[in-house]
Amino acid sequence: MKSPESAKPGMRRLVSRSAFALLSLSAATVLAGCASATQSTPTASPSAAFKPAAQTAGSQITVWADSTRLPAVQQYQKSHPDVKMNIVTYDGSANGSTYLQTKVQLFDRTGNGWPDVVFGSPTDVTWASQPTSPSATAFAAPLDANLVPQQTLDGFAKGSLAPCQFNGHTYCLRNDIAQVVLWYNKTLMDKFGYQVPTTWEQYEALGEQVAKEHPGYLVGAVGDTNSQESYFWSSQCPAFQLEDPATLKVDLTDGNCTRMATLLDKLIAAKAVTTQGFFSQGFAKDPGGSKVVMANGPSWYGQYLFNAAFKVPAGQIAAAAPLTWEGETTAATGNVGGGVWMVSSHSKNLKASTDLATWLTTSNDFQANAPTYPAYVPAAKAWLANPANSKYFATDISAVFEQAADLVWTGWSNTKFSDATAWSNVVLPALTQGKTLTETLPQWQTAITDEAKSVGYTIATK
């Protein structure tokens, strides 16, 4: 989501989940998208239907990557000089781009031209895992069909490959994730004498206390195009829940949706949560990041929001584990971004193609220095051990990030359309007009439903 700088969420204006998927694409890509989120785990025979193209050992592979991932691909090429590579830079599906899909449709018609390895957003997997026409072969190869070892697939964070899984197969490897945690300014919390909340109810009470005792200070914002992923996804709201590849459950009357709407409405009314977006024009100056006491948001918030955008001095910002609801023993959290790598089913050198995709997502040589949190658990540990990724913070973020990575709720599914559209077009304007989230839920549901039907989904509401 592009030059390396523009990929950073803290440097961007409001974008769709697909865009957030690019920096995390995490850090924004979407930074994506995405959504990202989920289907059931594979149950079908991995190699039952996949028929590879005729293989040519040692043949050149073509790699499509966005400018942010380009250095990683070049690093692989340098360390693997025997692999013949043609590297092409493209938009990486940023900002909802359909360039890749359009090109694949063209290649399917002409019978040639497909790249061997592609970086994209989770939304791309929804069409790439299916044939574009009755005579075509699905672009993305099922990686669990003896291409990537199951041991490697099992090494990714719990649920992180869900956006890659359709019809019982795994069609991509996750580059990174953007698990939501509770960020807080430790300096302000200590100064005000506050304890870090562990439940949503405590968060609500503390927000009201902040508004009363320190007017102008904030505990959150809902005005960004991905705010629903930080709050409603974390509340396990079934707004985008695939029951099967063709059926989408959209039920904003569910208690998991209404409880979050009610909580946020109270904090918005108290002026503890702003309807502005953290990334909206001017927020960094007025009211300013120095007045953000807490923020429920993705793992990239620390470096790209508080550090890069708000310029909060080092040693002040800390992260706490995802919040639970009273009466619930296990927390769930959302995800705001995370890109994917796909291998083409048409590749004539699957060995080199899968090796590249695997290296890009699992190798410590790259991922330890990646801009955002790796989805592959061993690589994530190397990332956390890199001082460049932790020295800014007031406390050790390792345990919090690792815990949250396994708590991302997989019921907010990866769909054929962005979860940002209805939120941006319906909910955010309503909030600007002074309406509450609770009274806007029906309109939000209608907008999601209409968009889902337009791309072929059957809708379930209960």
Tokens of 52: 């590879």
Rounded CA separation 68/209 (Å): 42
Give the mean model confidence (pLDDT) for residues 420-448.
Answer: 97
The string of DSSP letters for 392-426 reads TSSS--HHHHHHHHT-B-TTS---SS-THHHIIII
Phi first, then psi: what are they for 334, rounded to 5°?
-100, -175
Please report which confidence band the pLDDT of residue 198 belongs to, taking 50, 70 and 90 as the band edges. very high
pLDDT value for 94: 84
pLDDT value for 34: 37
pLDDT value for 110: 95
Please report which confidence band the pLDDT of residue 113 belongs to, taking 50, 70 and 90 as the band edges. very high
Angle subtended at Cα 279 by Cα 442 and Cα 217, rounded to the nearest 5 degrees: 85
Bigger pLDDT: 42 vs 202: 202
Which distant-in-sequence residues (6+ apart) come within 8 Å of 60 by Cβ? 84, 85, 86, 349
Average pLDDT, the chain: 90
* Cβ count within 10 A of residue 5: 11
**Is the distance from CB of 444 to CB of 423 less than 8 angstroms?**
yes
Reported as a single tens digit per residue, the pLDDT across 47-56 is: 457 899 999 9
Rounded CA separation 294/317 (Å): 9
Please report which confidence band the pLDDT of residue 286 belongs to, taking 50, 70 and 90 as the band edges. confident
Angle subtended at Cα 362 by Cα 361 and Cα 364, rounded to the nearest 5 degrees: 115
pTM for the structure as a whole: 0.89
pLDDT value for 97: 86
**Which contiguous run of DSSP H or E holds residue 126?**
helix 122-128
pLDDT value for 366: 93
Query: What domains does the chain contain, in order, with CATH numbers?
Result: 57-177+338-385 (3.40.190.10), 180-336+392-460 (3.40.190.10)
Please report which confidence band the pLDDT of residue 281 belongs to, taking 50, 70 and 90 as the band edges. confident
b or e along 121-156 (b: 16 or more beta carbons within 10 Å of the residue's beta carbon)?
bbbbbbbbbbebeeebbbbbbbbbbebbeeeebebb
Phi first, then psi: what are they for 349, rounded to 5°?
-140, 70
Q: Is the pLDDT of residue 25 over 50?
A: no
